[in-house]
Amino acid sequence: MERWKEQFKYDPLDSLISTKNEAVAYFTKRDLLEEVVEPIKMLWILPPAIKIINKQQGDGYWRYSAWKAKLNEPENYNLLETFRQLGFLVEKYGFTKDHGAIKKAAEYIFSCQSDEGDIRGFYGTQYSPNYTAAITELLIKAGYGNNQHVKRILDWLLSMRQEDGGWAIAMRTNNAKYLDVVKNPIAVEPNRKKPFSHMVTGIVLRAFAVHSKYRNTKPVEKAGELLTSRFFKPDKYADRRSVGYWTKVSFPFWWTDIVSSLDSLSYLGFTTSHPQIKLALETLRDKQSESGMWDLKLLKGKDQNLSLWINLAICRIFKRFCS
């Protein structure tokens, strides 16, 4: 049971066990030490979680901080903020649809679903497979995996693949300028002959990876292979193109990086015998410092405990791959 810990030069659990962060400590005991813990609802009443809930609007969304300045913008910034806050509740405090705040948030998100099936508004009138998938990942984790809205989203995502089997942002495949199309009444269709974007594909795979049915399909397996083929290489498109983005990490996961990618792939049947998985795990192992933490660029924001969450995420990954 402890075989996964033997993969590290230094014990990564010291900082996790000794932390005063109750949520990190809870998930460490449950997921890594496999201890019996109290019901997850104990995290729902922690002050940081309550603070987030208290800011939820009556219609289920969270208001973007600079909303007054964004009132006439084509993008739905409240939808973006809802994605952000939902991530905190689901990933850090284990919220599910059993809580009223999640039910209200889901209703709001589904109200933004287009007739085609995607969640529309992140890029104004344009398709956003990345954000559509990212917010759907959270809904599935919250217990909406069998919801018909979610099924429509996942089917839409499968219909939006490039010819090579991955995903890209449609407007990028047409070299369209964002400001020229973000207000167009008709969404730009992807040029499917163009190559996939690993940034987009890595995000889309997160939604499929956490769904018990869709994760075991051939298209998802192929997309996973495509993602591994791009490890530590620049993207084909301008968005987050640099190789350096592979080791710039955040939690909850936002963009595609090596930690978020391995997290998804650990659910998709990939093993340490895969050369690219082996390479990625070795890269992470080599970036561990004597403190047990990781030498990665933290896209911190306001979270003073981000290094602990990344530590927890990496330990979960190694435990899945190496147990």
State pLDDT tens for residues 102-158. Answer: 999 999 999 999 999 999 999 999 999 999 999 999 999 999 999 999 999 999 999
**pLDDT tens, position by position, 18-71:** 999 999 999 999 999 999 999 999 999 999 999 999 999 999 999 998 876 676
Per-residue confidence (pLDDT) for residue 72, from 0 to 100: 73
Which structural domain range is residue 289 located in? 1-37+242-323
Total domains, the chain: 1
Q: Is residue 6 part of a domain?
A: yes
Per-residue confidence (pLDDT) for residue 69, from 0 to 100: 62
Per-residue confidence (pLDDT) for residue 3, from 0 to 100: 84
Q: Is residue 8 part of a domain?
A: yes
Q: What is the mean pLDDT of the chain?
A: 95
Beta carbons of 74 and 122 less than 8 angstroms apart: no
Q: Is residue 250 part of a domain?
A: yes
Q: For residue 262, which phi and psi values (nearest 5 degrees)?
A: -65, -35
Q: Is residue 15 part of a domain?
A: yes
Say yes or no to pLDDT of 1 above 60: no
Q: Is residue 32 part of a domain?
A: yes
Q: Is residue 299 part of a domain?
A: yes
Q: Is residue 45 part of a domain?
A: no
Beta carbons of 307 and 249 less than 8 angstroms apart: no
Say yes or no to pLDDT of 300 above 70: yes
Is the overall model pTM greater than 0.85, yes or no?
yes
Beta carbons of 212 and 206 less than 8 angstroms apart: no
**pLDDT tens, position by position, 206-254:** 999 999 999 999 999 999 999 999 999 999 999 999 999 999 999 999 9
Q: Is residue 1 part of a domain?
A: yes
